[in-house]
Structure 1
Amino acid sequence: MFVNFSEQISYTSQNLFMSNAVQFPYFYRTVPNALHLCVGIGKLLKHFGWHWVGIVASDDDRSERAVQILRKEIERNGGCIAFYVTFPHHSRIPEMQLEKIERAINESSTVNILYFNENFAYRMQDVMRYYFLLTPGKVFITIAEMVIDTKVLLQFSMKNNTLIFTTHRREMPNFVKFIHEINPIWMPTDFKALDWWRNLCDSRCPKNIRRDCVPPDMFSLSSHCQTTHFAGSYSVYNAVYAVAHALHDMIMSGSGNDTTWSRENWDFLDYLPWKLHRYLRNLHFENGLREEMYMDENGDLAIGYDITNLFFLPDGTWKYKIVGCYNPHAPPGQDFTIDEKAIVWESSSKVKVHVCSPSCHPGYRKLIREGEPVCCYDCIPCAEGEVSNQTDMDICTICPEDQWPNQKRDACVPKMKIFLSFEEPLGIALTSISIFFFLITTVILGIFIYHRDTPIVRANNRDLSYVLLISLMLCFLCSLVFIGLPMDMTCILRQTAFGITFSIALSSILAKTITVVLAFHATKPGSKLQKWMGSRISVSLVLSCSLIQTFLCLAWLFTAPPFSYLNMRSEIGTILIECNEGSIVAFYCVLGYLGFLAGISFIVAFLARNLPDTFNEAKYITFSTLVFCSVWISFIPTYLSTKGKYMVAVEIFAILASSGGLLGCMFIPKCYIILFKPEKNSRKYLTKQ
């Protein structure tokens, strides 16, 4: 390999700084850069729900830069850094620093990441690794396999607590045979290689690489007997294939046909690097394992990581087992896999994961404490109308408009639908009162019909009394339309029936009052009002006043008719099924017209209250219209201040109270005379008076 290329195609460096294509345009590598490593560790933490993590790293620039990215990745996945401590990469770790790291690990997080530059002194970092392996109840994640001395292994009890991210590797064809047949004569000055070769005699080495020989007296089990695919040999293998294919592509393209391959033409060494650059950048080849390989936009081989579990066996050996992988170039959802059942954890006790704050149960959300990491939070209940159905929710979700949170606020349930029904006590009471008054009015009408020829009935305009009693009966019955499930038809009937029947009752009262006044003045000699006496004026007045109200109601129905409406916002947690008036102006016009009729009746009756007539109804009409006006004046503010079914109950009460007032003030005294004072209901008594 040309010297110029020894630094251009790396099989070990994952340095993030080398991904800068402007500063290092000719740098390539057959391992992924540390950015992908940080993302892979973040996915592993997220998979297991490890959110409270400690980081121990060397203080070199490369490690510090990678830790910055790792911290952002952990926080992006909802995790936090419990502590971050460094140790020197160029000298022995001070005792105080070791104590600081030990204290941080024991007092804080269960899950800890050991991140360091694998190009620095391994023995110094092995101290940290050994310490991690001896610490019970913890989980450690590191980025390189470890060389474990047999003496240390026999002296201490190592814990099964480590997951390691290693560059993806495969077993290369004939490589095991090469290891088995290697001869130390080939490397006489490489003492480490000689020790490595001698250790192949150990019976604990796999059979496919173990040599049939007697092991030396003093040796330790070398890591190559336990590693899965012989350290970085797979990356070297791909680096050689990458250069070979790039050279082949360049030569086959004709770029090198005019070059003389001789010792004299040293210009070729200066000419080749930038010429080969274009072919490496666009390289896409198949290695000896039939794997598709290519360089990404940063000049890195599109390869991922294996997640390896280090565990110790009772016979004093240890093994590496691949339990998962992370491939940043795979489709989303397929880039990270882990086999939890394949992981061998410490069996002496269950690992307890420490957290800054306990998980927030459904029905609560997280509130980050000011000035602390995002994993340090308080759990607060969801607000009214919101739920959280998962643990550790950042925000609560708002229930749909027709639903409401349950008591635990972890699910939305349908809102309770509320309306004034016939089954509830209030509905039963109002229904009973309406029917009672209806029956009373029916009895009074029957009494008046039965005693229709008596003076007291005839003297007070018998026909108008019948009309008034029938209209009051309808008023009592129309209150029943207000009870029950509101529908479009019942909403229309409510207001129109109420408005028209009440206008008939009030116009009958007004006709009665005007009849009394006309009857008194018509008896005067020479009065011209005699021609207005009779039933025609009364019938005309009732019809005309009622028709005006009917036209108002028809105009209301044709412009903006009432309709049933689901009111989901008036009361918390309920749906009020109510009637929307359609046009509030029309509603108050109908009420205003009734008030106008009642006011005119009150004024006329008040003026005629002292007229000399034995059966003068003006006093009764005055009092009854006063009761009517009082009820409906007090109705308006009460109606506006109530909601839902109680608003309907207020309107029903106003109808019953005003109708009952008219009935009681005008007809109960007459019924008392008819039934209990018959002597007063005679022509003789009238003559005496």
Structure 2
Amino acid sequence: MGVSALCLGLALALSLLNLNMVVVLVESANSLEKSVGLPSSDAGLMATRSSVCTLQGGAHTPAFSEDGDYLIGGVYSIHHYMHTVDNNYNTVPQILSCIGSVDPRGLRLTRAMIFAIEEINNSTELLPGVKLGYQIYDPCTSIPVAMHAAIQLLNGNDSVFNSGDNCSHSGVVMAVVGEFGSTASMSISRVTGPFNIPLVSPYSTCACLSDKKQYPNFFRTIPSDQFQADALAKLVKHFGWTWIGAVRSDSDYGNNGMAAFLDVALREGICVEYSEAFYRTNPRSKIKRVADIIRRSTSKVVVAFTAIGDLKILLEELAQEPPPPRQWVGSEAWITEPQLPSYTFCAGAIGVAIQRSVIPGFRDFLLDLSPSEVRGSSVLTEFWEDAFNCSLTESNRTSKRMCNGQEDLTTLQSPYTDTSQLRISNMMYKAIYAIAHAIHNALFQKVNFTLLQTQRLESKEVFTELKQVNFSQNGYHVSFDANGDPVAFFELVNWQKNERGAIEPVTVGFYDASLPEGQKFRINRKITWVEGGTQVPVSVCSESCPPGTRKVLQKGKPICCYDCIPCPEGEISNMTDSPDCSPCPREFWPNAKRDACFHKPVEFLSFDEVLSIILATVSISGACLAIITAVIFLHHRTTPIVRANNSELSFLLLFSLTLCFLCSLTFIGAPSEWSCMLRHTAFGITFVLCISCVLGKTIVVLMAFKATIPGSNAMKWFGPTQQRMTVVSFTFIQVIICIIWLVVSPPFPVKNLTTYKEKIILECALGSAVGFWAVLGYIGLLAVFCFVLAVLARKLPDNFNEAKMITFSMLIFCAVWITFIPAYVSSPGKFTVAVEIFAILASSFGLILCIFAPKCFIILFQPEKNTKKYLMNKS
């Protein structure tokens, strides 16, 4: 906006200096006499008696003009340079003029406007009976000249106009078409805007022109740069380029367009390594600096939002040295320029372009130029003489030959005759038809066309109707939104080699802003990349982080530069370039790659494990051993050694030992509510029954020894009935403890998720820890009591003293369960259950081997000792 404001001020200053458009109203002597009270004779000395509106100074001559009922103004460049003059302020400044050769492309666009107007004048449906005229001015890409032309369109070309008292109605132009540059269109819009004269541009794309507060009268048939920026950003994102360089023209077009692109790119997650602005008139040192930045950059993609002339200067500088392989992404301003593909290192460039079209009859119109028609226009004469290198008039002849009249435009290789890429010409074509439809709609409301009459029409009426035009012409829809913008539609163009080896732009896809999100952008043809590659080039600051890792930004660098860090334990990332890792649910755990969660394996002491099989085998073997011992005792129940050791308690002890061996099997398998309650209560009750029997046997030994003392009747107080009651009483207490435990807080199955993070331990929770330790403590209390009594009886003078065996068994029992406690607490997972089973089996084997093994050995292998005499013999 700073550039346009400066140019606007400069243009206004030059216009005022030229005095071309200053209107002087010379009032009549009568009016002067009335206003100041002078005699008419004196007033006549100061002014003529007739009122006129005059132009002071000269005026520009239109490059092309044609009278009509309603005029359409045109301001767009046919030449590229303005003749500059140093004003000395002593003479009236000269009229600004253009120099240099005619631009064939600019001339073709001029002819496109004339062609559209003539086509409308020949139409019987659009504006029947009404002739449109035109005045086309050449501003030669100069902002002051463009503003001068705009002011002249407002005032008209007559040196004296409107002989009445009102000079407000000067020019009769209904609308203005132009300019190509956005900065020039801003200046023209500020001149024509206060008069409600619409300005329709076929090529000004700056998004700033959509601001209706500043440019209320501006319309365009080309999409805004905001849509172009969105299309370019989606194009870059589509191919996965997140690390790019950016260059732009240092103009309203480049600066505003690149700002819009960078804004969209930031939202799309695209990072920019550098963003450089330059202009074709900059010193070579600055152009070289931009070129060196491109050479040294690490990004492989360059987005260029530049004008054709600016990019050409940059490419020439890059061509001085072996250019780096860069994938160029271009804006519509240059991507279809036929001269630029000569820079072969840009082969594979891709970008957005205005939709290509075919205008029926336009090529014939361009070629239908006769020498006589050419001589009638200074611009056509200049073009003709440059194109064929001859002179049409003797006065212009220098070293050139005279034109012989055989020159044929069909043989001319020029952008003027090239209608294969009619893009901007179609925008011009649509702009003229939009204005014609607006005039048609404004007139249709005022007059019956059958009368073939024209009515006075104000430009503001055309301005109002232009907002509402909605029609299709030549297969293309034309309408404007609230900002004066059309529906955005772009072609995706790729520079590819043709069969002759030359590089040319090829349409490979489309971008349609009217489609829903996600469907706007599509590619329907194979793309050729930089250096003729077939694979999409990679341009990233950091390689993509695979699933199982997360991105960690590198300090001081853009968000596209990062390191890939593996997800921490228990967390995963299941997509590429994940910014964070997410934890797995409690019962899940990551796989080895940490890109998916799977159910944690459930662990318990199952029957199909080797450890379980061994423990179950030992358990069953112990139970079988107890049963075999009972069978032996039963078979030899009448022998002295069986009878002397209280056969009833012995059989009850063997039964309880069998249960102890078998209860260890309840600890194997998946825990359930019933198995958890059964395993602990069965263990507690069977072991108390076992210890009670051992305790009873110990007491019997002590009582038997005391019974041998004369006068002692101890055995009377501990006979068979008392023995049974003792066993039942001790066991009943344990039963009561177990019942209370089961009622208050029984053991229950639980999934242990804390011992191991990567697996689930299925185990039995104790429920009430007090209940568990009460059961265990009660067993330990009985064992200690039994051990003490056995120690007291170990030295009794019998040849076969059972108290010694009970002492050893209780010693083993207590040692096992004392070591069990720390092992139980510290063992993880299923090994906790294995330790408990081992303790049960070890203590049970200790009892059966210490108490019954010696007796079975005598019964089976030393029957001579199984006599009453031997047993009564004292050592």
TM range (shorter): 0.7 to 0.9
Give a deviation string over 1:18-63, Cα, whole Å, max 9, x none.
Answer: 3444444454433333232222222212222222211111233553
Report the more deviating stretch, 421-430 or 638-647: 421-430
Q: Which runs of 5+ in 2 are unaligned?
A: 1-173, 177-191, 389-405, 448-452
The change in CA–CA distance for 1:124 and 1:88 in structure 2 (over 3 A counts) is closer
Indicate the residue corresponding to 1:419 in structure 2.
604
Once the two structures are TM-superposed, the CA of residue 335 in structure 1 deviates from its matched residue by: 1.0
Deviation at 1:139, TM superposition (A): 1.5
Aligned with 1:53: secondary structure? Answer: strand
Q: 1:525 to 1:157 in 2, by over 3 A?
A: closer
Contact 1:224 1:231 in 2 (8 A): no
How far apart are the structure 2 equivalents of 1:149 and 1:324?
A: 19
Larger Rg computed on CA atoms? 2
Distance verdict in 2 for CA 1:307–1:348, change over 3 Å: closer
The answer on whether the counterparts of 1:419 and 1:576 sit within 8 Å (CA) in structure 2 is: yes
Given the superposition, is the C-alpha separation of residues 591 and 123 from structure 1 closer, same or farther in structure 2, using an over 3 Å criterion?
same
Q: CA deviation at 1:285?
A: 2.1
Corresponding residue for residue 225 of structure 1: 418
Q: Could you tell me whether the CA contact under 8 Å between 2:249 and 2:278 is conserved in 1? A: yes
Aligned to 1:126: 312
CA contact (8 A) 1:388 1:410 kept: yes
Comparing 629-638 with 242-251, which one deviates more in the overlay?
Answer: 242-251
RMSD: 4.2
Paired residue secondary structure (1:591) = helix
Which of 206, 217, 226 is matched with 1:35 structurally? 226
2:288 match: 98
**Is contact 2:478-2:486 (8 Å) kept?**
yes
Q: Which residue identity lines up with residue 2 of structure 1 in the other structure?
A: A
Relative to 1, partners in 2 of residues 1:342 and 1:371: Cα closer, same or farther, differing over 3 Å?
Answer: closer
Residue number in structure 2 paired with 1:498: 683
Structure 1 distance, partners of 2:691, 2:478, is: 98
- Deviation per CA, 1:385-432, whole angstroms, max 9, x where unpaired? 344555444444545655544444455556444433445443343234
Equivalent residue number for residue 88 of structure 1: 279
Residue 809 of structure 2 corresponds to residue 624 of structure 1: yes
Q: Is the CA contact (8 Å cut-off) linking 1:404 and 1:573 kept in structure 2?
A: yes
Aligned equivalent of 1:110, options 293, 300, 321: 300
- Counterpart of 2:427? 235
Cα distance change on mapping 1:192 and 1:423 into 2, 3 Å: farther
2:556 maps to which residue? 371
TM-score scaled by length of structure 1: 0.81
Instruction: Give the Cα–Cα distance (whole angstroms) in 2 for the partners of residues 355 and 632 of structure 1.
Output: 67
Cα shift at 1:485: 4.6
Is 1:467 aligned with 2:652? yes
* Range 543-552 or range 106-115, more displaced: 543-552
- Corresponding residue SS for 1:302: coil
Q: 1:203: which partner in 2?
A: none
d(CA) in 2 for partners of 1:394, 1:36: 30
Q: For residue 113 of structure 1, report the CA deviation from its aligned partner.
A: 0.8
Structure 1 residues 96 and 613 mapped into 2: Cα distance closer, same or farther (>3 Å)? same
Report if the CA contact (8 A) 2:409-2:417 is conserved.
no
2:330 counterpart letter in structure 1: T
Change (3 A) 1:400 1:198: farther
1:205 corresponding residue in structure 2: none
- Going from structure 1 to structure 2, the CA distance change for 1:512 and 1:213 (only over 3 Å counts) comes to farther
1:473-552 equivalences under 5 Å are: 473-486=658-671, 489-517=674-702, 532-552=717-737
Q: 3-state SS of the aligned residue for 1:375? A: coil
1:517 to partner: Cα distance = 4.9
Are residues 477 and 34 of structure 1, via their aligned partners in 2, closer, same or farther at CA, if it must alter by over 3 Å?
same
Q: Are residues 1:660 and 2:845 paired?
A: yes
The answer (yes or no) to whether the contact 2:512–2:521 under 8 Å persists in 1 is yes
- Structure 1 stretches lacking a partner, 5+ long: 200-211
Which one scores higher on RCO, CA 8 angstroms, separation ≥ 6?
A: 1
In the TM superposition, what is the alpha-carbon distance from 1:140 to its structure 2 partner? 0.7
User: Counterpart in 2 of 1:190?
Assistant: 379
Aligned residues: 657
- 1:251–1:397 Cα change, 3 Å: farther
Is 1:164 paired with 2:351?
yes
Conservation of the 8 A alpha-carbon contact between 2:224 and 2:488: no
In 1, distance between residues paired with 2:493 and 2:736? 88
SS in 1 for 2:835: helix
Q: Which amino acid aligns with 2:731?
A: S
CA displacement 1:502-543 (0-9 Å, x = unmatched)? 222122223334444555667778878665433222323333
Letter of the 2:312 counterpart: D
Query: Which deviations, in whole Å up to 9, do the C-alpha atoms of 1:624-676 show, x marking residues without a partner?
Result: 33432332232222222222222221111111122122223333343344445
Aligned to 2:329: 141
* Distance across 1 between alignment mates of 2:416 and 2:240: 32
Deviation at 1:493, TM superposition (A): 3.7
Partner of 1:337: 522
Alpha-carbon deviations, 1:454-512, whole Å to 9, x = none?
A: 33333332211111112112222222333345455544443333233222212222333
Shift of 1:165: 1.2
Question: What residue number does 2:408 align with?
Answer: 214
- Secondary structure of residue in 2 paired with 1:86: strand
Secondary structure of residue in 2 paired with 1:310: strand
CA distance in 2, matches of 1:22, 1:368: 42
Which residue type is aligned with residue 145 of structure 1? W
Kept in 1: contact 2:302–2:329 (CA 8 A): yes
| 1:84 Cα deviation from its structure 2 partner | 2.3
Deviation readout 1:266-298 (Å, 9 max, x if unpaired): xx55x648xx55x666x4723224655554454
- Candidates 569, 582, 602, aligned match of 1:384: 569
Change beyond 3 A, Cα 1:468–1:237? farther
Give the match for residue 156 of structure 2.
none
Partner Cα separation in structure 2 for residue 400 and residue 340 of structure 1 = 46
Partner Cα distance (1:182, 1:584) in 2: 110
Once residues 136 and 341 of structure 1 are traced to their aligned partners in structure 2, the CA distance between those partners, rounded to angstroms, is 24
Q: In the aligned structure 2, how far is the partner of 1:78 from the partner of 1:579?
A: 52
Superposed displacement of residue 76, structure 1: 3.7
What corresponds to 1:11 in structure 2?
Answer: 202
Taking structure 2 as the reference length, the TM-score comes to 0.65
